[in-house]
Chains A and B, each alone.
Chain A
Amino acid sequence: MATRPAGRRWRRAAVYAGLSLWAAVSSFPFLWMLLSSFMTRGETLRRALWPERVQWGNYAEAWREASFGLYFRNSLVIAAVQVGGTLLFSLLAAYPLARLRFRGRELVFGCVLATLMIPESVTMVPNFLTVTWLHRATPIAWLNSWPALTVPFMVSAFSIFLLRQFMRSQPSELWDAARIDGAGHLRFLFQIQLPLCRAPLLTVGMFSFIGSWNALAWPLLVTNTPDWRPISVGLQQFVSEAGAEVHLQTAGACIATVPVLVAYFLLQREFTEGISMAGLKG
């Protein structure tokens, strides 16, 4: 029996109201950041709500002061490498954990998860020692260069975990059919499973990108020179001992946030591709 049109409209209105409320709550700090980036310092001090005149100069000054051009390029390259590595290694690792049977599978999965459980302040020193040793022992430069900034985070236990969950929820007939056709595991993974994993792969890629983009403590540790410093370090320039220049800090933060938002905006449809909940309309 179709629901009454009035009840249906009421429900839709409620849905819209709820989502709008949540949208307002989600966006106001970002809006504050955006508005403050166009204010003068005096206006930020007076807690003004709107800038009287749009101060485009803040952006130019922030860009100049914090070497944003160089740092931007660095962040992009670092993020690209890290995301690429994460996607590849996590996919390769999640597959046997989800689909293959071998001795020690649960133990390996447990070890993978265990790497998530140790607090960060304690892992920085050993990781730095490892990277320093690699820098000295291998012909590649690790410190002050992209390897130290990307490789330690290329394998993310989150990503392996998420992909494994996803793959396990897929029907196993897929593999049976492929095996009958003579495909090996490698071909199956890349030709059949990979296209199906689009949504979780994009999710993994997105979070890996954000993690790389916003990382601060580790890049500060492994870069002594500005050559490979990422943008998060640039933002630190506006924080000083006795006061923050809010108008410049927010301008810098806006510049730093734009790529992430653009990437997410372009990809957000992909996350939800294939969804059509016909039964839930109205």
Chain B
Amino acid sequence: MRQSTSESLTAWLFLAPALCVLGAFGLFPIGYALFVSLHDWRIRRGALLGLRHYRRALGEPEALLWFVLGCLLIVVVARLRGSRLLHRLSLGRCQRRAALALLLGLGLWLALVPGLRGLCATGDPRLYNGLRVTALYALATIPVQLSLSMLLAYLLLMSLRAKGFFRVVLFLPYVTPVIASAVVFRSIFSPDPASLANRLWTWCGFGQLRWLYESRSVVALLLRAAGMQAWPVWIDTFFPSLALTSIVVYNIWVYIGYDTVILLAGLSAIPRHYYEAAQIDGASAWQSFRHITLPLVSPTLFFLSMVAVIGTFRAFNHIYIMRTAGARDSVDVLSVTIFDVLFENHNAGYAAALAFVLFAVILALTALQNRVVGKRVFYGD
């Protein structure tokens, strides 16, 4: 139809300048990285290796196959749950649920046991350690960051005195140069008995800790404080180290201002008369929040959560600066490992392959997030 083609044309015209720049400086690097990752590339291009870097990084192809199969099965189960396919088969409700549970269990088992475990055993331990630390870092940072900034944004919107002052001060962490904030936080989380963290900790009644230099996990330290001398390995694997936790605190401190400012912008779009109408109807503050604020700010929240996931998985600068020898590899997120491979091993080909694996992981997570959370976002009318 003429209208939709003219709309198409307008759309592409509007997009043209941005797509030109993004194509050259955003998409071309991705293609280039892929090209590099297929070669033995130290500084100059060497032999074509095909997927050998990926094989070295990820592990046995069979394990990868099982992992992918397992994930596909889980996706199928999720799809089946909502579809009418099962209703057509004349199964009872219990039987349907049992079938789904069975399939889900099988999918999980496939993905984890022959899949993930096989991959970790045959792949590059640096890659899997990098992914593990990145996941822990993201899980520790994102929920805290988002809820704290939501709270702060909300508080800042109340009519208070010195609102302007609070809003400026809140943004200071984001604008304070990293050199300054890193020095201060390194000194706070120093293993020195006189450091701020240790002083606070001993004042609370606990012993001294090594903070940024502690590679054991927080749970392991708790167990040690409780008197245990040895603990299973998974305690250190599935929980963040104290060093990583200190860095998480630092990062939350830096980025809360950023999140809050964006939330404020989003909250400012909510027309005032909605609240007035709600007040007339007798709604409490919590009800206003839940039924007006939350839905109307959900596009911004969705944006922030996506940006947070992408951002934490990519995070490099603040982590690299706070890295210490004492933390061993418990703070090495994948971006840091990629940097090491590039600058210490001088292996651009392998670094590009690792970067591509990270890219794929972030892509998958974003797609998943879009699907699961994106549906709940409320857009305007």
A binding-site residues for B, Cβ under 8 Å: 12, 15-16, 18-19, 22-23, 25-30, 32-33, 88-90, 92-93, 95-97, 100-103, 105, 108, 111-123, 125-127, 129-130, 151-155, 157-158, 160-162, 165-166, 168-173, 184-186, 189, 199-200, 202-203, 206-207, 210, 214, 235, 239, 246, 249-250, 253, 256-257, 260-261, 264-265, 268-269, 271-281
Counting CB contacts under 8 A, is B106 at the interface? no
- Given known A-B contacts A25-B253, A93-B15, A281-B159, A119 and B335 have beta carbons under 8 A apart: yes
- Given known A-B contacts A92-B18, A161-B307, A253-B177, A123 and B33 have beta carbons under 8 A apart: yes
Asked if residues A203 and B14 are in contact (CB atoms below 8 Å), the reply is no
Q: Which of A97, A165, A268 contacts B303 (CB 8 A)?
A: A165
Asked if residues A172 and B4 are in contact (CB atoms below 8 Å), the reply is no
Asked if residues B265 and A32 are in contact (CB atoms below 8 Å), the reply is no
Min Cβ gap B303→A in Å is: 5
Asked if residues B26 and A157 are in contact (CB atoms below 8 Å), the reply is yes
Tally of B interface residues using CB under 8 Å:
97
Counting CB contacts under 8 A, is B302 at the interface? yes
How long is the Cα–Cα vector from A185 to B269 in the complex, in angstroms?
A: 22
Q: B22, B28, B183, B313 — which one has the most chain A CB atoms within 10 A of its CB?
A: B22
Q: B14, B299, B338 — which one has the most chain A CB atoms within 10 A of its CB?
A: B14
Asked if residues A118 and B355 are in contact (CB atoms below 8 Å), the reply is yes
How long is the Cα–Cα vector from A279 to B314 in the complex, in angstroms?
A: 40
Asked if residues A89 and B17 are in contact (CB atoms below 8 Å), the reply is yes
Asked if residues A92 and B17 are in contact (CB atoms below 8 Å), the reply is yes
How long is the Cα–Cα vector from A8 to B366 in the complex, in angstroms?
A: 42
Counting CB contacts under 8 A, is B331 at the interface? no
Which chain A residues lie closer than 8 Å to B381 at the CB level?
171-173
Counting CB contacts under 8 A, is B220 at the interface? no
Asked if residues B366 and A117 are in contact (CB atoms below 8 Å), the reply is yes
Counting CB contacts under 8 A, is B345 at the interface? no
Min Cβ gap A213→B in Å is: 9
B binding-site residues for A, Cβ under 8 Å: 4, 7-8, 10-12, 14-15, 17-19, 21-22, 24-30, 32-33, 152, 155-160, 164-181, 183-185, 253, 257-258, 261-262, 264-269, 272, 275-276, 278-279, 283, 285, 288, 296, 299-300, 302-303, 306-307, 310, 313-314, 316, 334-335, 338-339, 342, 348, 351-352, 355, 358-359, 362-363, 366, 379-381
Interface of B is mostly: helix
Q: Which of B11, B22, B164, B300 contacts A115 (CB 8 A)?
A: B22
Asked if residues B27 and A111 are in contact (CB atoms below 8 Å), the reply is yes
How long is the Cα–Cα vector from A25 to B172 in the complex, in angstroms?
A: 10
How long is the Cα–Cα vector from A125 to B155 in the complex, in angstroms?
A: 44
Which chain A residues lie closer than 8 Å to B306 at the CB level?
113, 161
New contact pairs (6) apart from A30-B176, A162-B262, A277-B157, CB-CB < 8 Å: A15-B160, A111-B22, A117-B310, A125-B32, A246-B183, A272-B157
Which chain B residues lie closer than 8 Å to A184 at the CB level?
10
Asked if residues B176 and A210 are in contact (CB atoms below 8 Å), the reply is no
- Given known A-B contacts A121-B338, A279-B278, A15 and B155 have beta carbons under 8 A apart: yes
Asked if residues B180 and A169 are in contact (CB atoms below 8 Å), the reply is no
Asked if residues A272 and B264 are in contact (CB atoms below 8 Å), the reply is yes
Which chain B residues lie closer than 8 Å to A101 at the CB level?
4, 7
21 pairs, A vs B, C-beta closer than 8 Å: A19-B152, A25-B253, A29-B173, A29-B184, A29-B185, A33-B180, A89-B18, A96-B10, A100-B10, A118-B33, A158-B307, A161-B306, A168-B380, A170-B269, A186-B10, A257-B176, A261-B175, A272-B156, A277-B158, A277-B272, A280-B288
Asked if residues B177 and A235 are in contact (CB atoms below 8 Å), the reply is yes
Asked if residues B299 and A169 are in contact (CB atoms below 8 Å), the reply is yes
Smallest CB gap from A170: residue in B: B380
Asked if residues B24 and A130 are in contact (CB atoms below 8 Å), the reply is yes
How long is the Cα–Cα vector from A273 to B269 in the complex, in angstroms?
A: 9
Min Cβ gap B355→A in Å is: 4
How long is the Cα–Cα vector from A261 to B268 in the complex, in angstroms?
A: 22
Asked if residues B355 and A122 are in contact (CB atoms below 8 Å), the reply is yes
The 4 A-B pairs at the shortest CB distance, nearest first, are namely A115-B26, A96-B11, A93-B18, A279-B275
Asked if residues A165 and B300 are in contact (CB atoms below 8 Å), the reply is yes
Min Cβ gap B161→A in Å is: 9
Asked if residues A268 and B168 are in contact (CB atoms below 8 Å), the reply is yes
Min Cβ gap A249→B in Å is: 7
Asked if residues A126 and B32 are in contact (CB atoms below 8 Å), the reply is yes
Min Cβ gap A30→B in Å is: 5
Smallest CB gap from B278: residue in A: A279
Q: Which of B155, B266, B334 contacts A166 (CB 8 A)?
A: B266
Which chain B residues lie closer than 8 Å to A12 at the CB level?
160
- Given known A-B contacts A118-B355, A274-B268, A250 and B180 have beta carbons under 8 A apart: yes
